[in-house]
Structure 1
Amino acid sequence: MTTTLAAGTRAAPPTTRRGRAHAPLRWLFVLPALLYIVLFFGYPLVRNVVMSFQHYTPRTYFTGEAPFNGLANWRAVFSDSLFTDSLWHTALFTVGSLVGQFTIGLALAVFFSRRFRLSGTVRAVLLLPWLVPMVVSAVVWRRLLDQDHGVVNSLLSALGLTDGGVPWLNSPSTALLSAVLVNIWIGVPFNMVILYGGLQEIPRELREAAALDGAGAWRTFRSVTLPVLRPVVTVVLVLGFMSTVKILDLILALTSGGPADSTQTLGTVTYQLSFMQLDFGQGAVVGTVLLLVSAVFAVLYLRANRTDLGKEG
């Protein structure tokens, strides 16, 4: 009996031996993905951080010399009031865009979840802003919001809402708001499509059970629909944040960062430093700040998601 127990403790289970034998094969399947991430994501990110501590100029591309200058680039960027203003503008632009896109997108998704005649056609029309390139949309809206000849001001004047043209893109007090409104118009279709798909996956029995318990439409939406839709909402907000916080082409086509730098964001400042002033070191600093902001948001999202999974478990 003792011999049998000793033999049983020495011999590994067949499942464990099979798993150890297949471990190298599993790593072979994972290796291409790891190499891709390291080459196309890891190396550029590390290179950008290193560049932020170097005196990197156009001459560097010919001589290969980029001496380290310590924190000189960081001090120059953080001491510039434009950076502080652009950080604040980026926060306002991102939060305003996300709130507007999500609110309108969710309202449209709920509206179209009830089938009616021509609903498919209307949804297809609403998808057009998402399909048009962002630069094209920005150029069109720049014409529409023109102070003197824009269609928007002409319509407002015809309705008697304004006496003169509203300086949508020409005034520091309204330019950032105009950029937010245009970005909301562009991003609403994406939010609507994803949230509409999530609503279609909610079992009808849940809403019917809530109705039998006497819950009204708003109570059913707040207590049943939103909790079930939470994973989809999280994905929409995360993707929306990642695409909005670094936006560049929309701002450049609408206002070029003006007037009076009132629409300068971290993305436009990076572009200005790197490709207008050709100071790639300082441009890398702002790019690194963007990476840090995105990383903090990603960590908070992962922790919140892990907490939710722990509660469900």
Structure 2
Amino acid sequence: MSTVTPGTPVNEADPAPTPGGGARTGASGGRSRRFPGWLFAAPAVVYMLAFFGYPLVRNVLMSFQEFTPRTYFTGEAPFSGLENWRAVFSDDLFGDALWQTLLFTAGSLAGQFTIGLGLAVFFSRRFPLSGFVRAVLLLPWLVPMVVSAVVWRRILDQDHGVLNGFLTAVGLSDGGVPWLSSPDLALLSAVLVNIWIGVPFNMVVLYGGLQEIPRELHEAAALDGAGAWRAFRSVTLPVLRPVITVVLVLGFMSTIKILDLILALTGGGPADSTQTLGTMTYQLSFLELDFGQGAVIGNVLILISAVFAVLYLRTDRGDLGRGK
């Protein structure tokens, strides 16, 4: 005879427990619930392995092989050990290209972000035709980079360029500034052109972030007596920090590997003053047809990007841990 304690629910549909069956049922049920998750993720995993993982592994292997045009016909790529790496690192051009890549990337990011943030703040205040002006400012970002580089090459031409013509007309120059033909000015000119191209992207993303900041925060700061600069520094920038991080990370990834802009603008010259890791990879792989050494430069670029990404993830995780 069994007794039921008052208040205890009775479920007549519950089956009698079978010895040893409960644990197996729970485990199989958990596996069945986890299986659809893996099934949904499988296409993305396959895509990443096929289009990112395999080329990356092939590029790493190629940097340790004597990979030449003959390899495409014979299929033979003898293992050369660290010979390609020694040849690249012992080349004086590699050090110059690395330094110029860092200068080009840092200068471009600083200019694009500063001007883009200023324009985003400016357009956050509505005024007549603000939408039209924003749309016009997007044009440099929409035009293909090669087209922009060709146009700017004509503008910066020393003898017939529009810019030197204007400077001569206003009395600021009498002989024409060698924007692209001087080793001292060519890299700076490339940075300025890339800033012009990248400002619209920074402006659009930062403008969208500014629109998401609650108006109440600025009103509370004004009630506390904070001026415009103090409110911007203490309210706007901290709230906008995740958007700023995304803008800088995407800008870094796209800038450090730029090739077409510099090829169309200066071709890496004059006197290799605008050679970057991207142009050096192109020169080794497609002009000198030394694919092994070109793969070495590509791996260096991947390593730099990976280090930057890891630092970003660690910083972002630390901010989440502190509740920022």
TM-score class, shorter-chain normalisation, is over 0.9
- Separation of aligned partners in 2, 1:256 and 1:51: 26
More moved, 199-208 vs 158-167: 158-167
Q: What secondary structure, in the 3-state scheme, does the structure 2 residue paired with 1:163 have?
A: coil
Aligned residue runs from structure 1 range 36-115, under 5 A: 36-115=47-126
Superposed, which structure 2 residues align to 1:110-125 within 5 Å? Answer: 110-125=121-136
Query: In 2, Cα distance between the equivalents of 1:53 and 1:16?
Result: 47
CA–CA distance in 1 between the matches of 2:26 and 2:150?
A: 62
Q: Larger helix proportion, structure 1 or 2?
A: 1
SS at structure 2 position matched to 1:56? coil
Aligned: 1:244 with 2:255: yes
Aligned to 2:321: 310
- Tell whether 2:211 aligns with 1:200: yes
**Cα offset, 1:15, TM superposition:** 8.7
Q: Are positions 1:227 and 2:217 aligned together? A: no
User: Which residue number in structure 2 is paired with residue 270 of structure 1?
Assistant: 281
How many angstroms does 1:21 deviate by? Answer: 2.1
TM-score by length of 1: 0.95
Change (3 A) 1:16 1:124: farther
Q: Aligned AA for 2:245? A: T
Matched pairs, number = 307
Q: What is the CA deviation profile of residues 38-95 of structure 1, one whole-angstrom value per residue up to 9, with x for unaligned ones?
A: 0000000010000000000000000000000000000000000001100000000000
One-letter code aligned to 2:229: W
Distance of 2:209 and 2:167 partners within structure 1: 37
TM-score where L is the length of structure 2 = 0.92
Separation (CA, whole Å) in 1 of partners of 2:209 and 2:175: 44
Report the alpha carbon displacement of residue 203 of structure 1 after superposing the two structures with TM.
Answer: 0.3
Rounded to whole Å, the distance in 2 between the matches of 1:39 and 1:239 is 23
What is the distance in 2 between the residues matched to 1:16 and 1:163?
83
The Cα shift of 1:135 comes to: 0.1
Q: Deviations over 1:125-162 (max 9, x none)?
A: 10000000000000000000000000001111112111
2:80 is paired with a residue whose SS is coil
CA distance in 2, matches of 1:16, 1:307: 35
1:292-313 deviations in Å (ceiling 9; x for gaps)? 0000000000000000000008
Unmatched 5+ stretches in structure 2: 1-16
Q: Percent identity?
A: 78
Q: Do residues 154 (structure 1) and 165 (structure 2) align?
A: yes
Counterpart Cα distance in 2 of 1:207 and 1:58: 63
Aligned partner (choices 168, 176, 179) of residue 165 of structure 1: 176
Give the Å deviation of 1:20. Answer: 3.1
1:5-39 CA deviation, whole Å, 9 max, x = no partner?
x99x9956x99875432111211111111000000
Counterpart check, 1:216 vs 2:227: yes
* Letter of the structure 2 residue corresponding to residue 68 of structure 1: F
Task: Write out aligned runs for 1:169-184 (5 A).
Answer: 169-184=180-195
Question: 2 CA distance for matches of 1:240 and 1:207?
Answer: 29
Q: How far apart are the structure 2 equivalents of 1:287 and 1:216?
A: 48
**Cα distance in 2, alignment partners of residues 112 and 18 from structure 1:** 55
Corresponding residue SS for 2:178: coil
Partner residue, 1:3: none
Alignment equivalent of 1:285, drawn from 278, 293, 296:
296
